[in-house]
């Protein structure tokens, strides 16, 4: 099941439409199909350019040339938050008549009604899935889900502002162990100055290059391997040499490339194989949405 929105540009020019989509980040255009996929957030949806001038019997949607927006349901609410500005940008560039079969009907585009329409349809789809016996999806505080998405959505800009000497990591979701709930985390690699959004995460994945065994110490190794260790940040990271500050109004830590003995000790010792599992951002729902469909 999916959300559909039909857009009919007043001045329809398929080549101009393709050129506009191609120039925007995260779009791939193949003929009539336009796909959006953001690797930072995991959000994806499509537009379909239809140059047909006559209505097709038995098919929904407006007659004449149109651009059909489509986004699947059974997704976190952040999908709509990312899609809406793209739809709005399209309409700002190509004034169009709109047809929203789910909520707005034919008429002017309204941001709030787009979000309401998609969220209502998504909620209904999740409820149907629960009634059909689908396994309860993983969930987290919806505010935390949205905060992680917002950080990743703006990460490229933050990285550009930070420069080359400070790494701005993506927030990922992971499952610390079997049967545990999802937790937001970032990676901190030994020797890499890193910005840590402490208030937005609950875990840090420490990363270091695998120590070579004695017999392989002098062998060429073009593809180094890495080791990982999960660190909880419930009580905060308190290590000498780490600066505390803010980024976008959020408390943050700024780790140096080389640090104190205390910081070096954090990355030392024997690390056992990690038990955590990385999760796709599209698989972590807001807990409120899940509780409605799967009451405890």
Measured CA distances, 227 to 187, 196, 264, 272, 289 (Å): 12, 20, 15, 9, 36
Instruction: Compute CA 196 distance to the chain's CA centroid, rounded to the nearest angstrom.
Output: 18
What is the CB neighbour count within 10 angstroms for residue 134? 13
Same domain, 25 and 125: yes
| Residues 42, 125 within the same domain | yes
**SS3 state of residue 291:** helix
Q: What is the span of the domain harbouring residue 38?
A: 2-131
Query: Which DSSP symbol is given to 130?
Result: H
Q: For the chain, list the strands marked E by DSSP.
A: 2-9, 27-30, 33-37, 44-50, 66-72, 96-100, 105-107, 138-140, 172-175, 183-189, 195-196, 203-209, 226-232, 243-247, 250-254, 277-279, 284-286
Q: Which two tokens stand for residue 148?
A: 């992680």
Residues 127 and 249 in one domain: no
> 159 and 116 in one domain?
no
Asked whether residue 89 falls in the same domain as residue 156, the answer is no
Q: Is the pTM of this model over 0.75?
A: yes
Could you tell me if 223 and 244 lie in one domain? yes
Q: Verify that 52 and 118 share a domain, yes or no.
A: yes
Together in a domain, 125 and 150:
no
Task: With respect to residue 59, please indicate whether it lies within any of the assigned structural domains.
Answer: yes
Domain-located, residue 293: no
What is the domain-level CATH number for residue 36?
3.30.1400
Say yes or no: 40 and 120 in one domain: yes
Instruction: Name 173's bridge partners.
Output: 184, 279
CA-closest candidate to residue 41, choices 169, 172, 142, 197: 172
131, 151, 177 - which closes a domain:
131
* pLDDT for the residue numbered 248: 78
Q: Give the C-alpha separation, 99 to 103, whole Å.
A: 9
Distance, in Å, from the CA atom of 292 to the CA atom of 296, rounded to the nearest integer, reads 9
For 292, what's the count of Cα atoms within 13 Å in the CB-facing half-sphere? 13
User: Do 232 and 109 lie in a common domain?
Assistant: no
The confidence score (pLDDT) of residue 212 equals 64
pLDDT tens for each residue of 112-159? 999 999 999 999 999 999 999 999 999 999 999 999 999 999 999 999
- What integer pLDDT is reported at residue 237 of this predicted model? 80
From 96, 131, 166, the end of a domain falls on: 131
Query: Does any domain span residue 10?
Result: yes
- Same domain, yes or no, for 67 and 155? no
Task: Please check whether residues 234 and 204 belong to one and the same domain.
Answer: yes
Chunked in runs of 10, what are the mean pLDDT values of the chain (296 residues)?
92 95 97 97 97 59 79 97 98 93 78 93 96 95 97 95 93 94 95 92 93 58 82 79 84 85 89 92 96 90
158 in any annotated domain: yes
Task: Please report, for residues 136, 161, 180, 264, 290, the alpha-carbon distance to residue 133 in angstroms, rounded to integers and kept in the order given.
Answer: 9, 47, 21, 49, 13
Query: How many domains would you assign to the chain?
Result: 2
């Amino acid at each position: 099941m999916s959300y559909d929105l039909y857009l009919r540009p007043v001045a329809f020019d398929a080549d101009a439409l393709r050129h506009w989509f191609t120039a925007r980040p995260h779009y791939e255009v193949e003929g009539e199909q336009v796909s959006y996929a953001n690797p930072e957030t995991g959000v994806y949806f499509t537009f379909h350019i239809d140059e047909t001038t006559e209505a097709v019997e038995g098919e929904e949607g407006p007659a004449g040339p149109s651009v059909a927006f489509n986004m699947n349901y059974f997704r976190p609410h952040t999908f709509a938050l990312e899609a809406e500005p793209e739809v709005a940008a399209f309409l700002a560039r190509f004034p169009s008549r709109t047809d929203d079969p789910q909520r707005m009907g034919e008429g002017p585009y309204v941001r709030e009604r787009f979000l309401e329409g998609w969220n209502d349809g998504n909620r209904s789809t999740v409820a149907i899935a629960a009634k059909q016996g689908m396994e309860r999806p993983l969930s987290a505080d919806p505010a935390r889900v949205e905060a992680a998405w917002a950080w990743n959505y703006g990460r490229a800009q933050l990285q550009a502002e930070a420069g080359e000497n400070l790494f701005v990591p993506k927030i990922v979701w992971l499952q610390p162990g079997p049967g545990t709930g999802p937790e937001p985390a970032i990676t901190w690699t030994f020797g890499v100055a890193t910005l840590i959004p402490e208030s937005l995460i609950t875990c840090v994945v420490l990363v270091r290059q695998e120590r070579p065994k004695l017999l392989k110490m002098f062998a060429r190794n073009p593809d180094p391997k890495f080791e990982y260790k999960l660190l909880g940040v419930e009580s905060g990271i308190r290590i000498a040499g780490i600066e505390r500050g803010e980024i976008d109004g959020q408390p943050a830590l700024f780790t140096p490339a080389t640090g104190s003995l205390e910081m070096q000790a954090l990355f030392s010792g024997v690390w056992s194989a990690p038990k955590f599992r990385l999760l796709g951002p599209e698989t972590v729902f807001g807990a409120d949405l899940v509780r409605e469909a799967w009451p405890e």
